[in-house]
Amino acid sequence: MAKQSAAPLLSVQNLATSFSRRGQSNVRVVDDVSFEVAEGEVVAIVGESGSGKSMTALSVIGLLKRGGNVVSGSIAFQGENLTKLSAKERRRHHGKDMAMIFQEPMSSLNPMMRIKAQLAEAVAIHQRSLSKKDIYHEVLRLLELVDIPDPKAVAERFPHQLSGGMRQRIVIAFAIAHRPKLLIADEPTTALDVTVQANILDLIHKLHTENQTGVIFITHDLNVVAEMADRVLVMYAGRIVEESSVYNLFDDPKHPYTIGLMEAMPTLDELEATLASIPGTAPDLANLPEGCPFHPRCPKARAECKSDMPPLRELRQGHSVRCLFPGKEEENLGDTN
């Protein structure tokens, strides 16, 4: 549960991020994205691959790859506009106040170094006054904190000697080594079996509740969203198409894309049934259709949808949608506009 505060921990306003591709003009991968994260709040960002959810997170933390640039908007962390800072100053925030758990743990670990050496480096950077002995004890404490069995033995191993779930726990230990105020988790349970997924989610939940850490949780799995999040942003083609509390989103989704995602969720009595799916594929961000980018796949699309980009408008307090005809089909039967 988020702690009520006068100012949000993170405030993103009208964020736009572009990537340059060889031989092509800049491609807008994040467009007009605004949201806030309060202290102790978990905000999930949901969408298909290419929706812009990971690019939004990388823009926030300042880890865009070469060719990526925040071109407009603001990212304020504890009231400080990060987009006005130099790259060196951004790295200071990333190293101290923000941390990110990536989808593939091996990309975050050095295959040539033992776990204890890698964690010791992270600890030493943020706690320079510690002796080597104290650093080692802190390494073991971090491994215990993320529920690593036999921390002393695991500390001596190389990444390739550990299971996928164990490596992800190690990456989480890295992320919390400096007690960040904001944690970004980018698909942290992908490619892990169901039991390990549950353990990793429990671990992130425990760390967030005990430390009142703000969390941005990126996923395509709505079952995870239901379990973890306070609020949800649904993204499509680089834009937020729906924002709501997790309860309202599951109780009364409004955007046709969100409704399609919900209908594709398996339930216990449908595990062996054929699940619904959203027809078509996500659009090429370099060649978006006119109007609403979802209209080629939308069962409710009308002429207006093919010419007008809908604004993100609030339907009720805390629930906004980017759609000219929000709600389920039966809700619009009387609407002839």
Q: Is the pLDDT of residue 16 over 50?
A: yes
286-322 in b/e burial notation, b at 16+ Cβ within 10 A?
Answer: eebeebbbbbebbebbeeebeeeebebeebeeebbbb
Confidence at residue 329, expressed as pLDDT on a 0 to 100 scale: 59
Alpha carbon 274 to chain centroid distance? 29
- What does the block give as tokens for 115? 């776990």
Confidence at residue 59, expressed as pLDDT on a 0 to 100 scale: 94
Confidence at residue 337, expressed as pLDDT on a 0 to 100 scale: 46
Strands 239-245 and 231-236: antiparallel
Rounded mean pLDDT, 173-182? 89
User: H-type helices in the chain, by residue range?
Assistant: 53-61, 87-96, 115-126, 132-145, 151-155, 164-176, 194-211, 222-228, 246-251, 256-263
Give the fold, CATH level 3, of 10-39+47-97+220-321: Rossmann fold (3.40.50)
In which residue are the tokens 């650093």 written? 135
Please, what is the Cα angle at 205 between 89 and 162, to 5 degrees?
80
Q: Is the pLDDT of residue 95 over 70?
A: no
Higher pLDDT among residues 117 and 276, named by residue:
117
Q: Is the pLDDT of residue 302 over 50?
A: yes
Confidence at residue 325, expressed as pLDDT on a 0 to 100 scale: 94
Q: Is the pLDDT of residue 206 over 90?
A: no
Q: Is the pLDDT of residue 183 over 90?
A: yes
Compute the distance between CA of residue 255 and CA of residue 253 in angstroms, rounded to an integer. Answer: 6
Residue 332's identity, in one-letter code, is N
pLDDT exceeding 70 applies to what percent of the chain? 91
pLDDT exceeding 90 applies to what percent of the chain? 63
Q: Is the pLDDT of residue 21 over 80?
A: no
Mean pLDDT, the chain, rounded, equals 89
Per-residue pLDDT tens over the stretch 28-60: 999 999 999 999 999 999 999 999 999 999 999
Q: Is the pLDDT of residue 336 over 50?
A: no
| pTM, rounded to two decimals | 0.90
Confidence at residue 233, expressed as pLDDT on a 0 to 100 scale: 98
Nearest Cα to 191, choosing from 183, 202, 182, 200?
Answer: 200
Q: Cβ distance 147 to 199 under 8 Å?
A: yes
Confidence at residue 331, expressed as pLDDT on a 0 to 100 scale: 57
Residue 106: band (very low, low, confident or very high) from pLDDT cuts 50, 70, 90: confident
Separation in Å, CA 127 to CA 118, 122, 139: 14, 9, 12
Nearest Cα to 117, choosing from 154, 149, 88?
Answer: 154
Confidence at residue 103, expressed as pLDDT on a 0 to 100 scale: 82
Confidence at residue 2, expressed as pLDDT on a 0 to 100 scale: 57
Q: Is the pLDDT of residue 333 over 50?
A: no
Per-residue pLDDT tens over the stretch 69-91: 999 999 999 999 999 888 778 77
